[in-house]
């Protein structure tokens, strides 16, 4: 079974600074999909960014970008110019090529605190 | 497009009762997945439905069941509730079953079992 590990239970960053959240995963598949979701206090899960494993180019969405290292099975999220609204739980998630029998596999999450 | 909606948003039940949660997917989405979120276990996959058929199921007891209707709306049912069933239940919809189909989540139903 696939596993996703987020080794940082909590991270703190000053407003306007850059922060990187770590994620590693384990899979025997060569084709798969990786996601970062954000869960603010409202508990609504919001998609931040996604990455297809077959694409070498790292995905970018405005202030959010990923560093995808397929050989190392690493998928980190970089948030630039951190804003107070970025404060939330961030979950890294994996999904297999055919959707997978396990749906999305999530990490335990990283609680991101933004210091004003 | 309207997002994924879940009803009710909050629910309080007692042990031994049963509960039904509802999820309406984004218009045009045919796949609905359910997840349980608890502080101890994190986010765990319950099951996934597509075209009114359960396609995948997570490692949960048979007390957890679900169904999907022809309009893609889905319900999940938990029978004989236990204290450990207290959780946030999240529903997600996607266009299809492919790994490339991003799942979009609803606001969740907070279930408290007393």
pLDDT digits (tens, 9 = 90+) for A54-94: 988 999 999 999 999 999 999 999 999 999 999 999 999 99
Contact A102 B99 (CB under 8 A): no
pLDDT band at A99; cut points 50, 70, 90:
low
Query: Can you say whether the dihedral through the CA atoms of A26, A45, B104, A101 is positive or negative?
Result: positive
Task: Tell me: cis bond preceding B8? Omega within 30 of 0 counts.
Answer: yes
Report the percent of chain A where pLDDT is more than 90. 82
Which domain covers residue A8, as residue numbers? 3-115
Q: What pLDDT, in 10s, does the model give residues B31-79?
A: 999 999 999 999 999 999 999 999 889 999 999 999 999 999 999 999 9
Interface residues from chain A to B (CB-CB < 8 Å): 31-33, 35, 37, 42-47, 50, 52, 91, 95-109
Q: What is the pLDDT of residue A46?
A: 95
Instruction: Find which of A99, A100, A108 to mutate to test the B interface (most B CBs within 10 Å of its CB).
Output: A99
8 Å CB contact of B104 and A47: yes
- Quick check: helix, strand or coil at residue A84? helix
Can you give the CATH number for the domain in which A16 is found? 2.60.40.10
Tell me the helix, strand and coil percentages in chain B, rounded to 5.
Answer: 5, 55, 45
Give how many domains chain A has, as a whole number: 1
Smallest Cα distance from B109 to chain A, Å: 10
Beta-carbon separation of B56 and A102 below 8 A: yes
């Amino acid at each position: 079974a696939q596993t996703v590990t987020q080794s940082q239970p909590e991270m703190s960053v000053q407003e306007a600074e850059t922060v990187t959240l770590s994620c590693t995963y384990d899979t025997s598949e060569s084709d798969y999909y990786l996601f970062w979701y954000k869960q603010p206090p409202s508990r609504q899960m919001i998609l931040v960014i996604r990455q297809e494993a077959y694409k070498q180019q790292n995905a970018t969405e405005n202030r959010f970008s990923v560093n995808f290292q397929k050989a190392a099975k690493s998928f980190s999220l970089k948030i630039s110019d951190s804003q107070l609204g970025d404060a939330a739980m961030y979950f890294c998630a994996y999904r297999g090529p055919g959707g997978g029998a396990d749906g999305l596999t999530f990490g335990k999450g990283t609680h991101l605190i933004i210091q004003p | 497009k309207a997002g994924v909606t879940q009803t009710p948003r909050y629910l309080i039940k007692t042990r031994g009762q049963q509960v039904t949660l509802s999820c309406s997917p984004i218009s045009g989405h045919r796949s609905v997945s359910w997840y349980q979120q608890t502080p101890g276990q994190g986010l765990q996959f319950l099951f996934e439905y597509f075209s009114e058929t359960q396609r995948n199921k997570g490692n949960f007891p048979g007390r957890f069941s679900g169904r999907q209707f022809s309009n893609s709306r889905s319900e999940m049912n938990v029978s004989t509730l236990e204290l450990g069933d207290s959780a946030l239940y999240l529903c997600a919809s996607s266009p299809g079953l492919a790994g490339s189909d991003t799942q979009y989540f609803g606001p969740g139903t907070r279930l408290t079992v007393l």
